[in-house]
Amino acid sequence: MVQHEKNLSLGKNVDIGAFTYIQARYNVEIQDNVQIGSHCSIYSHSTIDRKKGKVVIKNSAKIGTHSTIMPGVTIGSFAVVGAYSFVTNSIPAHTLAYDIPAKSVQKNK
């Protein structure tokens, strides 16, 4: 499900799992070859804490099932977000991150 679909930019070969919610009020960009697991939520605007900002998921990043990406976050190229993670800060390229809130734990090769 996508809200504000005119503000959603999708690259090539993007795989988005079932029951994923994308709220693109302040823009969501999903680049090429990204994989997003089922039951994920991506927010460019949070009505709870009133944060807002563009979300960018860069080339070949992977987001595990049931993860939540909050406003203003960038997920770097080839980064992996573990399942059930709550991402409140940007994740560098080639990094594995997971937990609540998500923390970078290692560089991917």
CA atoms of 62 and 76, how far apart (whole Å): 10
pTM beyond 0.75: the answer is: yes
pLDDT in tens, 71-80: 999 999 999 9
CATH (domain of 103): 2.160.10.10
Domain extent, residue 32, equals 2-107
Q: 76: which DSSP letter?
A: P
49 or 84, greater pLDDT: 84
CA atoms of 49 and 10, how far apart (whole Å): 27
Task: Tell me the C-alpha to C-alpha distance, in Å, between residue 101 and each of 27, 49, 69.
Answer: 22, 15, 10
CA atoms of 43 and 51, how far apart (whole Å): 10
pLDDT, averaged across the chain: 96
pLDDT in tens, 6-23: 999 999 999 999 999 999
How many structural domains compose the chain? 1
pLDDT in tens, 49-58: 899 999 999 9
